[in-house]
Amino acid sequence: MKVQQQAQQQQQRKLIILAGAKSWSKVLLAASAEFIQEDRCFYYCGEQIKEPLELLAVFNSLLISKKNYHDYLGEQCQTLIFDDNSLNIEAFAALSGSLCAGGILFLLWPEQLHNSPLIKNSLFLQRFFQQITNDNNAVVIDQYTDIDQLIQDIPPLNYSQNILAQSLSNKSLADKSLSAKSIPLSCKTSEQFEAVKAIQKVFTGHRNRPLVLTADRGRGKSSALAIACADLIKNSKQPLNIIICAPHQQAVAIFFKQLATSLALINIAKNEVTYRHSDLKNQPLSRISFVPIDILLKEQPAVSLLLIDEAAAIPVYLLESVIVHYHRVVFASTQHGYEGAGRGFALKFQQTLKLTAPDHQTFHINQPIRWCDNDPVEQFVFSSCLLNAELESLNQQHINSTALLLTVHNKKTLLKDEKLLAQLFAVLVTAHYQTSPSDLKLILDNEQVNIVSLSHKDDIVAVALLINEGMREGEDQQQAIAGIKQGQRRLKNQFLPQSLINHCGFEQAFDYQYLRIMRIAVHPQVQQQGIGSYFLSQLYHYAKQQQVDFLGTSFGANSALLNFWLNAEFKLIRIGFTKDQASGEHSAMLIKAVSDKSKLVLKSLNNEFYRSFHYLLDEPYQYLSPNLVALILQNTPQQALTELTLFDQQNISAFANKKRLYHSCVFSLHLWLLQHLTQLEAAEHYDQSLLLLITRLLQKRSISEVCQLFSLTGKKALNQQLVDYVQQYY
């Protein structure tokens, strides 16, 4: 097969599209199997396609599905067959990273590209396949192609011009031509080895000099972390405790796989490795373990070295807390790709590091490991999924909000304006740790979704993603509501009304129309200038024009973010009972009344939220950040508060004067504190003495927990802190 020969000789990866009936494409694949290397083959099969048993046998393939493709991140294959009529772009982008140099990616499409109803009905697919048409390195074979003519049309190898000849002078392929022993620690490239040394320097060098390690996907970043740790443990004269954090456990799968290889371990746990050096038989084991970042910050275990992988996917305020508590830290993140938030992370977090850790170091890995530089498949995936959307610098650093233009973008226009689409997506990515290629599909294909921007001249300053929710005319409302209440249905594009029914008991939720702000982002260069607040005010006016009843949102709650929305007069109606796995935060749902008929409804929903929140503080919300609790309670409506009786006032006064014991007055103190909080000004950070009262009086944490949390010597010291605060403010 000529394409496959070129791919191997040039050390390129190749994309081949087989467009036609699946029976035809599978026959063609089976016929070409003898020309394809017998190395590992991955077969991704979409949900609606029956298991292709015959072809699996021919290629000796591993069958991969939507449910398990994450398990193959970090694995390698020489052939990837992607067979999915719905084109799961998440899986396509992720699995393309498993394809090695010289490998072939077969994309099976059930129709001819120029006459495909599936493509005609999807703007996303139109863009995707237009990218293929424009890509000179991609090979398209449809059912009626003259194969002999196609082979003749493939340009012959020209080693003075091809990728191999161009790349022999660069480090990437020069490194790969060296023997495995020539680069220490079995590193794949000299640049990966330099990264390993930089990681180890954090452990061996001065304290408070964190490393920010960045790389595009496929550069061996996570493996470098593991190689560095393995070498440190093997050469340490004392047991080490190394912790790695990441947005979720799956994100460290490659790390632990490489760790097992480097330490020559056969069986390892998913989230922990222990190791004992032969010279340290009588000492404790060295340990490398995965710990979620919220648990790390809560328990604050002692560590020899702390690694934060995919740091771009973790809220910056949590990373700031890490810097405060730990002194030997490596922050690693993917610069481009579905794993990271790209340049936005670098801009935001490194600004923080300049203030908190001015001696921090940075290292970027450029060299790919599994393929050569300028690889055609990587370039196509980056382009088609907008993984390479660069955040452009603004022409002005300070912008008057009145000079900004609000635009609701036409999707067909975006399809024709690739530069504008990339600008919008680049700004959007900076705001959210979970932005992914599927968001591009959502923007272009979901009729209920709109992308809106604020611009200044040619600059995109802010971007929001909006979705219309609520029943439309002709939809069966009663049947849908019945299904939702019984837990039998989950409607697409109906997050707010469904949540209002399921969690708030508001059965009339589908009588109203909603505009939900899914994402909102301000360019990092002009944040903290009031542009975000101005944007929300403009979106409120837009919602009014659209004649919706509520403007709403939902996000992982932290004090800074929640304060932003509360200042824009959004009202809380729900805090999730458990932490979101991705953000490590409890979700918050807020809405703002737009129509007249929605105002009384919102007042009632907000009041009911606070009544239940007060009651639940000592159970599902017992470990909610007291600072966040303070901000929430500061906004309690008067209707949700209990008026203090004369008896309550006497109890509080007696406690402040040390005439009554804590438990005999605690109920009155509880009621007083709820009222007291509403009289304070909203803040991102509240006084420690106030947080102590919240933790003990409202969340009812134990004496030992509170003393440990606030560094108090015991019950007597705690009681004195309570008395002092009540004396000062009652």
Task: Give residue 266's pLDDT band: very low, low, confident or very high (50, 70, 90).
Answer: low
Q: pLDDT tier at 481 (50, 70, 90 boundaries)?
A: confident
Q: What is the reported pLDDT for 489?
A: 74
- Quick one: pLDDT band at residue 240, thresholds 50, 70, 90? very high
In a domain, 33, yes or no: yes
Residue 190 has pLDDT above 50, yes or no: yes
Among candidate residues 566, 567, 603, the one with its CA nearest the CA of residue 588:
566
562 and 515 both lie in a single domain: yes
**Does residue 247 sit in the same domain as residue 111?**
no
Q: How confident is the model at residue 207 (pLDDT cuts 50, 70, 90)?
A: very high
- Residue pLDDT, tens place only, 333-346: 887 654 444 455 66
Q: Which of the two residues, 395 and 592, has the higher pLDDT score?
A: 592
Q: Is residue 174 part of a domain?
A: no
CATH code (residue 204): 3.40.50.300
Total domain count, the chain: 4
Considering only CA atoms, which of 178, 14, 35, 133 is closest in space to residue 80? Answer: 14
**Is residue 128 a contact partner of residue 382, using CB atoms and an 8 Å limit?**
no
Q: Which residues, 6+ apart, have CB-to-CB distance to 296 below 8 Å?
A: 243, 245, 306, 322
Give yes or no for residue 10 having a pLDDT over 70.
no
Mean pLDDT of the chain: 87
Residue 396 clears pLDDT 80, i.e. is over it:
yes
Domain assignment present for residue 13? The answer is yes
Residues 546 and 644 both lie in one domain: no
pLDDT in tens, 674-724: 999 999 987 778 999 999 999 999 999 999 999 999 999 999 999 999 999
Q: Is the pLDDT of residue 593 over 80?
A: yes
**Structural domain of 598:** 401-618
The whole-number pLDDT of residue 177 equals 42
Question: What backbone phi and psi angles, to 5 degrees, belong to 348?
Answer: -70, -50
Please report whether residue 603 resides in a domain.
Answer: yes
Q: Are residues 603 and 653 in the same domain?
A: no
Q: Which of 689, 537, 562 is nearest to 634 (CA)?
A: 562
For residue 75, what pLDDT is reported? 81
Quick one: 475 and 611 in the same domain?
A: yes
Are 309 and 255 spatial neighbours (Cβ–Cβ below 8 Å)? yes
Higher pLDDT, 7 or 637: 637
Give the end of a domain, one of 584, 618, 652.
618
Residue 530 and residue 460 share a domain: yes
Specify the pLDDT at position 652. Answer: 97
User: Above 70 in pLDDT, residue 288?
Assistant: yes
pLDDT score, position 179 = 43
Would 396 be classed as within a structural domain? no
For 626-664, write each residue's pLDDT tens digit.
999 999 999 999 999 999 999 999 999 999 999 999 999
Tell me: the pLDDT tens digits for 502-556? 999 998 999 999 999 999 999 989 999 999 999 999 999 999 999 999 999 999 8
Round to whole Å and give the CA distance between 458 and 479.
Answer: 48
Please determine, for residue 623, whether its predicted confidence score (pLDDT) is greater than 70.
yes
Same domain, 601 and 546: yes
Angle at 381 between CA 248 and CA 94, to 5 degrees: 25
Average pLDDT over residues 88-107: 92
529 and 607 both lie in a single domain: yes
pLDDT at 175: 45
Q: What pLDDT, in 10s, does the model give residues 304-321?
A: 999 999 888 787 788 888
pTM above 0.75, yes or no: yes
Most confident option among 167-176, 247-256, 334-343, 451-460: 451-460
Same-domain check for residues 604 and 654: no
117-175 pLDDT, tens digit each: 999 999 999 999 999 999 999 999 988 876 665 555 555 434 333 433 343 334 344 44
CATH of the domain at 512: 3.40.630.30
Do 416 and 356 belong together in one domain? no
The HSE-up count of residue 391 (CA atoms within 13 Å, CB side) is 25
Using alpha carbons, list the distances in angstroms from residue 192 to 217, 308, 345, 367. 13, 18, 22, 8
Between these two residues, 353 and 130, which has the higher pLDDT value?
130
* Residue 411: pLDDT over 90: yes
| CATH number of the domain residue 13 falls in | 3.40.50.11040
> Would 279 be classed as within a structural domain?
yes
Residue 377 placed within a domain: no
Same-domain check for residues 17 and 61: yes
pLDDT of 585 above 60 = yes
At 474, is the pLDDT very low, low, confident or very high (cuts 50, 70, 90)? Answer: low
Decide which of 618, 646, 679 is a domain's last residue: 618
332 located within any domain = yes
pLDDT digits (tens, 9 = 90+) for 655-673: 999 999 999 999 999 999 9
For residue 682, the model assigns a pLDDT of: 79
Q: Which two tokens stand for residue 438?
A: 């599927």
Same domain, 104 and 137: yes
